Amino acid sequence: MEDVTLHNTPQNTGWIEVVSGCMFSGKTEELIRRLRRAQIAKQKVMIFKPRIDNRYSMNHIVSHSEQSLISTVIDNPQEIIQLSKDAQVIGIDEGQFFSSDLVAVCEKLADMGKRVIVAGLDQDYRGKPFEPMPQLLAVAEYITKTLAICMVCGNPADRTQRITNQHELVVVGAHNVYEARCRKCFVPPNDVD
């Protein structure tokens, strides 16, 4: 009888993993968990975050539960290719803050044999798809959707309610600007298209 080995993860190839969900659902915490495991396995890991995300630290990715890992701050996803030539595993936090170039960069890295893990919001404060995350979800081999707890009723939450009167698409903030809400308790802003 022939010995057949089944693998849970791809062998001799790269791939893309996406961790998406609403604010306070544990996306960065899950990204950190995966990256720490890769570091424990002595894999070469590079971690990136957008310059705009300066809520907790300028040079670390930081979860709302205060877990953190040192990261490289970048302005453009194209920088990742050059900066991670020797990396086996690449972590990218707050993917929604990058341009649509992030999708092509992640695909190129995966084609180079690298494991690419991206965490980010899949919906904006209006409840609309938050590009480029939906495009990444479409090309990823592995997808994890994280849920928070609704701050109104306690049900599972998958939406981010902005609790300020700001109307810009990107407003960087935490508990003072956003709440996790379920489908029933989410109130879209009046400026939704």
In the set 94, 107, 168, 179, the catalytic residue is 94
Catalytic residue check, 94? yes
- The domains found in the chain, sorted by start residue, are 15-147 (3.40.50.300)
pTM for the full model? Answer: 0.87
Over residues 32-83, the pLDDT tens digits come to 999 999 999 999 999 999 888 766 566 766 766 667 677 889 999 999 999 9
Over residues 127-184, the pLDDT tens digits come to 999 999 999 999 999 999 999 999 999 999 999 999 887 766 666 555 578 899 999 9
Give the Cα separation of 158 and 91 in Å (integer): 23
DSSP string over 153-173: T-SEE-EEEE-SS--SS----
Q: Counting beta carbons within 10 angstroms of the beta carbon of residue 118, is it exposed (0 to 12), middle (13 to 18) or buried (19 or more)? A: buried
Phi-psi region of 172 (alpha: psi -120 to 50; beta: other; left: phi over 0): beta
